[in-house]
A and B are shown apart, each in its own frame.
Chain A
């Protein structure tokens, strides 16, 4: 049985699994966090504690996609609206009852040294296993000089981290905002300030949508809206990129708690593969409740068992060496698309995608006769559609007619509708395999070019050598 326990994260944090609830509404109170621990969460980052705020109504909005709810989620809620002492006394109670689970205090206070010292000591006295400095909240708090107002200025982030480290006895994590041109600038600052770890990413500035009847963006607060913080499945690719940037940079890299659109064990595994030691979840828990953690732990263990990993450390960061700069990619590696005629259902989306979105090399010419070569040699898609609209069709009313209409030939799909790849023109872009609705119907296969691997870097360095003597 694989062991997914976390030991000594950021120095000293232990917990039964790497799945934490992020600092957000699901961790608003002690009662909620205890229910979350009962459901199986390994840790929780308390909803940010600081001077209590007044919130607005409404606070959330979402983007739906293709019939699915909450592809992306947006909020304009501020930090905890409950008094510091209430949060901290509940935290003490949670720690007493759940000593095995990680409780991290997320903190945000005004930018002066004494105020930070005080809140750090109070949180640790309440039993926090670690501190997370909220330098990321992108709305409301930033207008008051906190949250991302700190996280966007490396000097402030470094200074406050250093203040906290003067008093902290538990690991200090700095939560990074993605609303900055290079997240490494603040990660480096946090590291210089002495942070023990990082959390990334916080939410991304967003306007999720506009009501087309009232013209008011969502969420609507009495006829007006304000930009919020975007999260949920839509932001995962952005988060993964930033996680990679941090972990691949020696001046930034620290124990990292990955955040951003994680809803399943698969998502989490990707963050671990890029070097994260724990992950934090919010939107998925807000959508479906705490119970989602069951499949996260179970699924991760099953995947680890299948891959032969005993602990998360066995694969943590394993994908980092697989990310490089574009200039180091092999220019002589070539793949082409292959269509499995038995699996093709004849939607022909690959054909139109290739014609209108790629390189005009997928054709519907299996019946008329395959023709390889440039675009001029082939009928354009619009001509095919026009021919189809001009054709005669009638309802097959007899059994014989119905049988004839259902006949397809050697494959489940009529040959005329099974696209064909012209491999002489295919550039191996992947688009067709991405639009194909059938798993493993279009595969990208490597073809031998007979050329030795060569990167852009090598090619241009070589060119420089050749041109230099001419210049001389």
Chain B
């Protein structure tokens, strides 16, 4: 792995266009904020965190000046503590459950404090402790290079097993590297985190697509257990004529393209179809890349959007405009490489969306960005023997990641249908612990 994605590759203007949404706390501000924490017993913030980070524990270590201890406390629970500090929707997790709310006081800025500890940790060049390599004769393959696999693999090597992460992309990290808005998490920071995981002993095979029965068989021969952290795969298609035209690019493609320096500028009008958190990331990115007008087109109304409230507010501040209850019908190529997106107003009647007669019009635009959710990697899942798939998700026990096949465990988006990075890390870690326990029972 390398120092990929430095300024020379992504372009220096990226740093300016995507300045951090939440800048780091100055050291003294961190201490003052840490002192504000009440140090609750059995803290609600800890309970709310899917990885159950000991929040008061790491915060009080910041207050006492024990930054190393603080970072280790975080990493013990969540190996992706650095990226989670930046990307977690803390408003609905730890900070949302802070007891300060009940006194009408500002919640403790847990995300920023966690980042403070993690920044110090990465600056120190230290590594979290891990047991001696191969302390256990246990080999696990983690398919998919995103947070779930990283969480699983790191937990395994810290407990002395060996783990190999296999990903089809050039860089591991999954959506942390390719899919998070740059103003929240820089790709280089995700890569740095992955590098730390490699240094504690996780092996990586990148550019390897496990998409044939033969490839799976080979893995089964080499490894004792296989963890599936394959995520949701490609985004869903709109299913309208003209979708493959030049000028149509889905939200994850758009985010990956600008984060890796392949897309540096946009002009004119951009229409994002959808109103989830990823749709908002794409719409905000389009604004920051230079698009004068950015619409978000959503088939239902404002009160139905799946984006978090603070994400929606953020998009409004970025100047994104919203078109409610409007459905895309077709995409047509117009003069000078522009596009026309045919749309119609719809009314929701008994859960059905009925087009309003005479409300059809075309939006002239330069880019259409479908952002209506990801669909699981159906092809791969089909090849997995004995693993139940329901509603496009791998069926696995939430507490252990166990699937119907005793050698396969799973976690992250491919199981939960698409949640947050921290949910994926938690799923991976729980699966790792279940694998360790299963292996102990087998070899005991």
Residues of A at under 8 Å CB distance from B?
66-67, 345-349, 351-352, 364, 381, 384-385, 388-389, 391-399, 402, 405-406, 412-413, 417, 437-438
Give the chain A neighbours of B39 by CB distance below 8 A: 349
A273 to B36 CA separation, bound complex (whole angstroms): 33
Given contacts A351-B41, A395-B420, contact A388 B102 (CB under 8 A): no
Given contacts A348-B42, A388-B52, contact A395 B31 (CB under 8 A): no
A405 to B50 CA separation, bound complex (whole angstroms): 13
A412 to B102 CA separation, bound complex (whole angstroms): 7
Given contacts A347-B41, A438-B103, contact A389 B46 (CB under 8 A): yes
A345 to B306 CA separation, bound complex (whole angstroms): 29
Can you list 6 pairs linking A and B with CB atoms under 8 Å apart? A346-B40, A348-B41, A349-B40, A381-B41, A391-B47, A394-B416
Q: Which residue of B lies closest to A395 (CB)?
A: B420
A311 to B173 CA separation, bound complex (whole angstroms): 74
Give the chain B neighbours of A349 by CB distance below 8 A: 38-41
Q: Which residue of B lies closest to A441 (CB)?
A: B103
> In this assembly, does B128 line the interface, its C-beta being within 8 Å of a C-beta of chain A?
no
16 more contacts with CB within 8 A, not counting A399-B306, A406-B96, are A66-B35, A67-B32, A67-B63, A345-B99, A346-B44, A347-B40, A347-B99, A349-B38, A351-B41, A384-B42, A385-B41, A388-B42, A392-B398, A393-B52, A394-B419, A437-B38
Interchain CB contact under 8 A, B422 and A395: yes
Give the chain B neighbours of A395 by CB distance below 8 A: 50, 89, 92-93, 419-420, 422-423
Give the chain A neighbours of B42 by CB distance below 8 A: 348, 364, 381, 384-385, 388
Interchain CB contact under 8 A, A393 and B50: yes
A356, chain B: closest CB distance, angstroms: 9
Give the chain B neighbours of A399 by CB distance below 8 A: 306
**The residue from B49, B103, B306 contacting A397, defined by CB atoms under 8 A apart:** B306
> In this assembly, does B1 line the interface, its C-beta being within 8 Å of a C-beta of chain A?
no
A409, chain B: closest CB distance, angstroms: 13
Interchain CB contact under 8 A, A394 and B99: no
Give the chain B neighbours of A405 by CB distance below 8 A: 48, 92, 96
B399, chain A: closest CB distance, angstroms: 6
Q: Which residue of B lies closest to A386 (CB)?
A: B42
B75, chain A: closest CB distance, angstroms: 16
Which residues of B15-57 have CB atoms within 8 Å of chain A's CB atoms? 31-32, 35-36, 38-42, 44, 46-50, 52
Q: Is the interface of B mostly helix, strand, loop or mixed?
A: helix
Interchain CB contact under 8 A, B420 and A397: yes
A398 to B416 CA separation, bound complex (whole angstroms): 13
A111 to B262 CA separation, bound complex (whole angstroms): 87
Q: CB-CB contacts of B339-355 with A at 8 A, as 1s and 0s?
A: 00000000000000000
Give the chain A neighbours of B63 by CB distance below 8 A: 66-67
Interchain CB contact under 8 A, B399 and A392: yes
A87, chain B: closest CB distance, angstroms: 40
A255 to B247 CA separation, bound complex (whole angstroms): 90
A151, chain B: closest CB distance, angstroms: 38
**Most interface-central of A351, A395, A412 (chain B CB within 10 A):** A395
Q: Which residue of B lies closest to A350 (CB)?
A: B41
A348, chain B: closest CB distance, angstroms: 4
Q: How many interface residues does B have (CB within 8 Å)?
A: 35
Interchain CB contact under 8 A, A352 and B41: yes
**Most interface-central of A347, A349, A413, A417 (chain B CB within 10 A):** A347
In the A-B complex, the 10 residue pairs with the closest CB atoms: A67-B35, A352-B41, A345-B102, A348-B41, A347-B40, A345-B99, A395-B420, A67-B32, A66-B35, A389-B52
Give the chain B neighbours of A385 by CB distance below 8 A: 41-42
B86, chain A: closest CB distance, angstroms: 15
Q: Which residue of B lies closest to A419 (CB)?
A: B41
Interchain CB contact under 8 A, A397 and B419: yes
Give the chain A neighbours of B102 by CB distance below 8 A: 345-346, 412-413
Interchain CB contact under 8 A, B99 and A388: no
Q: Which residue of B lies closest to A385 (CB)?
A: B42
Q: CB-CB contacts of B297-314 with A at 8 A, as 1s and 0s?
A: 000000000100000000
Q: CB-CB contacts of B85-116 with A at 8 A, as 1s and 0s?
A: 00001001100100110110000000000000
Interchain CB contact under 8 A, B46 and A388: yes
Q: Which residue of A lies closest to B89 (CB)?
A: A395
Interchain CB contact under 8 A, B31 and A67: yes
B431, chain A: closest CB distance, angstroms: 13
Give the chain A neighbours of B32 by CB distance below 8 A: 67
B424, chain A: closest CB distance, angstroms: 10
**Most interface-central of B31, B40, B49 (chain A CB within 10 A):** B40
A384 to B39 CA separation, bound complex (whole angstroms): 16
Q: Which residue of A lies closest to B398 (CB)?
A: A392
Q: Which residue of B lies closest to A352 (CB)?
A: B41
B247, chain A: closest CB distance, angstroms: 31
Given contacts A394-B419, A395-B422, A398-B306, contact A347 B48 (CB under 8 A): no
Interchain CB contact under 8 A, B40 and A348: yes
Interchain CB contact under 8 A, B89 and A388: no
Give the chain B neighbours of A391 by CB distance below 8 A: 47, 52
A348 to B92 CA separation, bound complex (whole angstroms): 21
A412 to B418 CA separation, bound complex (whole angstroms): 31
Give the chain A neighbours of B426 by CB distance below 8 A: 393-394
Q: Which residue of B lies closest to A396 (CB)?
A: B92
A386, chain B: closest CB distance, angstroms: 10
Give the chain B neighbours of A417 by CB distance below 8 A: 44
Q: Which residue of B lies closest to A351 (CB)?
A: B41
A427, chain B: closest CB distance, angstroms: 20
**Most interface-central of B44, B63, B306, B399 (chain A CB within 10 A):** B44
Given contacts A388-B47, A389-B46, contact A346 B99 (CB under 8 A): yes
Give the chain A neighbours of B103 by CB distance below 8 A: 345, 437-438
Given contacts A66-B35, A381-B41, A438-B103, contact A394 B46 (CB under 8 A): no
Give the chain A neighbours of B40 by CB distance below 8 A: 346-349
Which residues of B367-408 have CB atoms within 8 Å of chain A's CB atoms? 398-399
A397 to B363 CA separation, bound complex (whole angstroms): 31
Interchain CB contact under 8 A, B36 and A393: no
Q: Which residue of B lies closest to A381 (CB)?
A: B41
Q: Which residue of B lies closest to A393 (CB)?
A: B50
Q: Which residue of A lies closest to B40 (CB)?
A: A347
Interchain CB contact under 8 A, B31 and A393: no
Q: Which residue of B lies closest to A344 (CB)?
A: B102
Give the chain A neighbours of B306 by CB distance below 8 A: 397-399
Interchain CB contact under 8 A, B50 and A394: yes
**Most interface-central of A381, A385, A394 (chain B CB within 10 A):** A394
A349 to B39 CA separation, bound complex (whole angstroms): 8
Interchain CB contact under 8 A, B92 and A402: yes
Give the chain B neighbours of A394 by CB distance below 8 A: 50, 416, 419, 423, 426
Give the chain B neighbours of A67 by CB distance below 8 A: 31-32, 35-36, 63
A437 to B100 CA separation, bound complex (whole angstroms): 10
B329, chain A: closest CB distance, angstroms: 27
Q: CB-CB contacts of B146-186 with A at 8 A, as 1s and 0s?
A: 00000000000000000000000000000000000000000
Give the chain A neighbours of B49 by CB distance below 8 A: 393
Give the chain B neighbours of A388 by CB distance below 8 A: 42, 46-47, 52
**Most interface-central of B31, B93, B102, B422 (chain A CB within 10 A):** B102
Give the chain A neighbours of B41 by CB distance below 8 A: 347-349, 351-352, 381, 385
A410, chain B: closest CB distance, angstroms: 14
Give the chain A neighbours of B35 by CB distance below 8 A: 66-67
Q: Which residue of B lies closest to A364 (CB)?
A: B42
